[in-house]
Amino acid sequence: MDDLLDPATIAADLRTTMLPRTISCHTTVGSTMDVARDLLRTLDDAQLPLLITADVQTAGRGRMGRRWEAPAGSALLLSLALRPTWLPPERGVVLVWMAAVALCEAVEDVTPLRAALKWPNDLLLPTPDGCAKAAGILLEVSIGHRAFEWAIIGCGVNVSAAPPPGTTPYATTSLAAAVGGSVSRLALLRALLRRLDHWYTQLSLGQQVELFAAWSGRLTTLGQQVRVEAPDGPITGYAEGVEPSGALRIRDAAGAIHSITAGDVGLGV
């Protein structure tokens, strides 16, 4: 079966250099993030990075604490556990950029689609009405004495199905719907691992500037009127750009500048 996810099939002739070193595939889990966190307690550095995949998550979650649900086998559900001790903890955001850019590039490797990002990390695909969300990325970290103890990147991609209209606060789509045909989870995962390996290698060599340019260049949020549901309340204004920290810079109607580090963005407000 072309879409079967198992360690041997995923790793066969993958030709990556840094990741993954351990692969664990599951039919049903609560959350791949939780499985990765548990396994991190038993694995040494030589066994990392660790890739976890699942066909179904019963307690999957996304940004802002939302639940992530998908029919069995319809989504690419994964977590990648890393121990990037060479990365300053205050620069952990670059791991989000890495995952977002790598996912865009993987989608473009296996489909004719042009992928974009809604700040900070939602994958957008073209639809007849404009664009819609097809994937999200989550980062969890543990920081010890001035260094990462571990970082886990979680990713859920709508491959053959998307949440029904009205069940999410934004429009959603799947790769299959955007393409108008089937898309292989296995092919997408292998392409994603290759692009993650590329960018993780670049980051280990200190190439953060190149990654920032690749990430910011895909943000459709920039140059738009937006409304951000920020932790301290909604902010409406013009998205002028992103700062080197990754914060979104918004100018409101009064001309005041807001630097947003977390929140949900709505376009065209």
Same fold across 7-216 and 225-267: no
Residue 56: the pLDDT is 94
In the chain, what are the domain boundaries? 7-216, 225-267
- The pLDDT of residue 166: 65
Query: Which tokens go with 108?
Result: 């473009």
* Confidence at residue 161, expressed as pLDDT on a 0 to 100 scale: 94
**Which helix or strand (DSSP H or E) is residue 175 part of?**
helix 175-179
Distance CA 22, CA 27 (A): 17
β-strand partners of 81: 50, 152
User: Quick check: 33 pLDDT over 60?
Assistant: yes
**What is the pLDDT, as a whole number, of residue 232?**
80
Q: Which residue has the tokens 């914060």?
A: 247
Rounded to whole angstroms, the Cα distance separating 184 from 154 reads 19
Summarised one tens digit per residue, pLDDT across range 114-170 is 999 999 999 999 998 889 999 999 999 999 888 899 999 999 999 999 987 766 778
User: In this structure, which amino acid lies at residue 207?
Assistant: Q
Which stretch, 23-27, 65-69, 264-268, has highest mean pLDDT?
23-27
Task: Kindly report the pTM of this predicted structure.
Answer: 0.94
| 220 φ/ψ angles, rounded to the nearest 5 degrees | -75, -15
* Rounded percentage of the chain residues whose pLDDT exceeds 90: 81
Say what the pLDDT of residue 62 is: 54
Q: Decide the pairing of beta strands 67-68 and 75-82.
A: unpaired
- pLDDT at position 204: 96
Task: Say whether pLDDT at 69 is over 80.
Answer: no
Here the tokens at position 167 are 């069940």
101 has pLDDT over 60: yes
CATH fold for the domain made of 225-267 = SH3 type barrels. (2.30.30)
**What's the CATH fold of domain 7-216?**
BirA Bifunctional Protein; domain 2 (3.30.930)
Tell me the three-class secondary structure of the chain, residue by residue: CCCCCCHHHHHCCCCCCCCCCEEEEEEEECCHHHHHHHHHCCCCHHHCCEEEEEEEECCEECHHHCEECCCCCCEEEEEEEECCCCCCHHHCHHHHHHHHHHHHHHHHHHCCCCCEEECCCEEEEEECCEEEEEEEEEEEEEECCCCEEEEEEEEEEECCCCCCCCCCCCCECCHHHHHCCCCCHHHHHHHHHHHHHHHHHHHHCCCHHHHHHHHHCCECCCCCEEEEEECCEEEEEEEEEECCCCCEEEECCCCCEEEECCCEEEECC
Tell me the C-alpha distance between 114 and 40, whole Å: 35
pLDDT of residue 71: 84
Mean pLDDT of 38-57: 96
Q: How confident is the model over 204-218, as pLDDT tens digits?
A: 999 999 999 999 999
pLDDT of the residue at 145: 83
pLDDT (tens digit per residue) in 131-147: 999 999 999 999 988 88
Mean pLDDT of 197-201: 98
Instruction: Output the pLDDT for position 1.
Output: 38
